[in-house]
Amino acid sequence: MTGNTPLDAVKRLRPPGLRLPRLRVSRRLRAAGRAAVPVGIAVVDGLLVNGLGPGPGLWVALVAAGALVARRRWPELVLLVGLPGLYAGHLAFAPLIALYCLADRRRSVAVGVVGAAAVALAQFLPYPIAGLPELAPDRETLITALDSCVLGAGAVVLGRTARLRRERQREIAQAREREHRLLAERTLSTERAWLAREMHDVVAHQVSLISLQAGALQVGDPDAATVRTTAGVVRDLSAKTLTELQHMVGVLRADGVAPSTLAPQPRLADLPALVRDSGLRATLTAPEAAGHWPRAVERAAYRTVQEALTNVRKHAPGAEVDIQVQPLDGGLGVEIRNTPADGAAAPPDLPGGGHGLAGLRERAQLLGGSFRSEREPGGGFRILAVFPCRGAF
């Protein structure tokens, strides 16, 4: 998106190839500037109060100003150095800056209160101290006392506020970092759960095909040509399964990837090949407009059919399967019906993964759809999944 700031406008007007100069200031130079500014203010304050002529007052002010260089590391010592000058009236800003740093750098409230009291007394008490008995409890004295208290308390309040603000910013940054980490972990967990479903669907389907081919060799009386053909099919299926596993394991080892990296993803256009290679007596009715539906919907429909065919091979060998993939309720409906096993072939001895139908139900729910599986009165089985198109990707 094009920016609308004055700098962006200047960039658009400049001739091609002309670069605007950049002001590059190193971190050390910025830190030196931040350290020198308060010292400079204190020096100017001392010169304005004491004049340019040499004298004790000017030297006291310059020493207090120079001590501000160490205000972050030793704020208590810097404050003690500046208090005599404040009491004698030779300077004002140096002890206030030191008190601000004291409240900012020290967590103890008592330390800030003691520092504020010391500054208030140094500002209020007369110089020399011999004039203390001459103070009268009049309006001027009360205003001076109030002014001194506000001066000390104000520096402490500003320092504490800066400290609390810095701590709050640090807490916010840590909270955001934790939030980003949790979000990344959640995203990674979601991706790996998605990969686990994909791995189950792919491997279960391929292994069931291998078992079907091996079972055909076991129960039949094949000739050499049939054995070679079946062995080639088993070899191709095994190589395809290993390729899928290697790809998915590589993705699982990564720190986090988008599901789109598992390319190519199955679509509705791949259903005829899936049904043809299943080795089952299956009929398919599917929409001709491939790519018309969202990718996630087409992928979910493909996996639903794939898992249903796998279950038929495992639990109802020899059954007839009818697959209907049609628009339904504003989305895409997938209905798979199979007849009971014909009894001519024994079911392959394959362990159940325990995640097939549950994974299909979860896949449908993730897309905001519905899933239902049930046995039919005649002994067959029916699966119906509906995937809405709104919100799918």
Q: Give the model confidence (pLDDT) of 269-292 as tens digits.
A: 889 988 888 878 899 998 876 557
Q: Where in the chain is the domain with CATH 3.30.565.10?
A: 189-254+262-388
| Residue 370 or residue 228, greater confidence | 370
Give tens-digit pLDDT for 236-273: 767 666 666 666 666 666 655 454 454 467 888 889 98
The Cα 30–Cα 275 span in angstroms is 70
pTM to 2 decimals? 0.46
For residue 180, give both structure tokens: 């980003």
The 10s digit of each residue's pLDDT in 43-87 is 787 777 777 777 777 777 778 887 888 888 888 888 888 888 787
Secondary structure element (H or E) that encloses residue 344, with its range: none
C-alpha distances (whole Å) from 176 to each of 35, 80, 173, 256, 301 are 31, 41, 5, 20, 38
- Is 211:241 a contact under the CB 8 Å cutoff? no
Give the separation between CA 149 and CA 198, rounded to whole angstroms: 72
Cβ distance 198 to 260 under 8 Å? no
**Residues 112 and 122: beta-carbon distance below 8 Å:** no
Q: How many CB atoms lie within 10 A of CB 206?
A: 21
Question: Using CA atoms, how far apart are residues 248 and 270, in angstroms rounded to an integer?
Answer: 20
Q: What is the pLDDT of residue 324?
A: 93
For the segment(s) 189-254+262-388, the CATH number from 3.40.50.1980, 3.30.565.10, 3.40.50.970, 3.30.1180.20 is 3.30.565.10
Backbone φ and ψ of 246, nearest 5°:
-60, -40
Look up residue 355 and give its two tokens.
């995640």
